[in-house]
Structure 1
Amino acid sequence: MGSQESLKKARTLIESEISKNKVQVFSKTYCPYCKMAKDALKAAGIDYNVMELDNRSDGSAIQDVLKEMTGARSVPRVFINGKCIGGGSETKALQVQGKLVQMVNAS
């Protein structure tokens, strides 16, 4: 568990990224579910911002805060219009159902 200071910084960063990006993905470069989520967004023609946590020194603190915020520490964590829609399987299912674009355009 990260220090209170690192968790506070991670929360500020996460909230900033979620608020300035319509679609924000917290990911790891080697994770097959992260690839599934990114591929589903690409297939739906949706622009998204991605933060690869394995490339960051604060990746673990970010995952700790994501667990507090979303109930899961696993990646990917996909946010659309500020709301966590879940991970790779959920993102893929929404894309297959044609709902991803609707969600992005709902704001």
Structure 2
Amino acid sequence: MDKIQRLTSEHGLAIFSKSTCCLCYAVNILFHELGAATYVHEIDHDPEGKEIEKALMRMGCNPPIPAVFINGKLVGSTNEVMSLHLSGSLLPLLKPYQTMH
């Protein structure tokens, strides 16, 4: 979907989220605590939200939210992000987006 492509290319670290999703909140807090400047797109506040959600699933993100993109590439949802974090592989990916060191 063009909108996903545009937003992920404009923002190095993008999260597609829903304002009512507790896993989205947890992922957002994780990135915040790691000092990463994230762009969060709340799909439940977007008129095209349902289409975005379907497109994320087609891209292989299941569940579709939170969908984390780093440097324009789909990292995945909560499980993938947490696995990267626990293995120590997340921080190096976030280096360019960290606002505090």
Which TM-score band (shorter chain)? 0.7 to 0.9
Matched, 1:72 2:62: yes
1:26 aligned onto 2:16: yes
**Are 1:37 and 2:39 an aligned pair?**
no
**Aligned pair 1:100/2:96, yes or no?**
no
Correspondence for 1:57: 47
1:33–1:87 Cα contact (<8 Å) kept = no
Runs of 4+ displaced beyond 4 Å: none
Rg larger in structure: 1
Question: Structure 2-normalised TM-score?
Answer: 0.82
**CA apart distance, 1:93:** 3.8
Instruction: Identify unmatched segments of 5+ residues in structure 2.
Output: 97-101
CA–CA distance in 2 between the matches of 1:97 and 1:72?
21
Correspondence for 1:88? 78
Gaps of 5+ in 1: 1-10
Pairwise CA RMSD of aligned residues? 1.8
| Residues 31-89 of structure 1: CA deviation (Å, up to 9, x unaligned) | 01101110111111100101001111110000111111224252100011112111123
In the alignment, residue 83 of structure 1 is paired with which amino acid? K
In structure 2, distance between residues paired with 1:74 and 1:13? 15
Q: TM-score, normalised on structure 1? A: 0.78
SS at match of 2:68: strand
Of 52-61 and 97-106, deviating more is 97-106
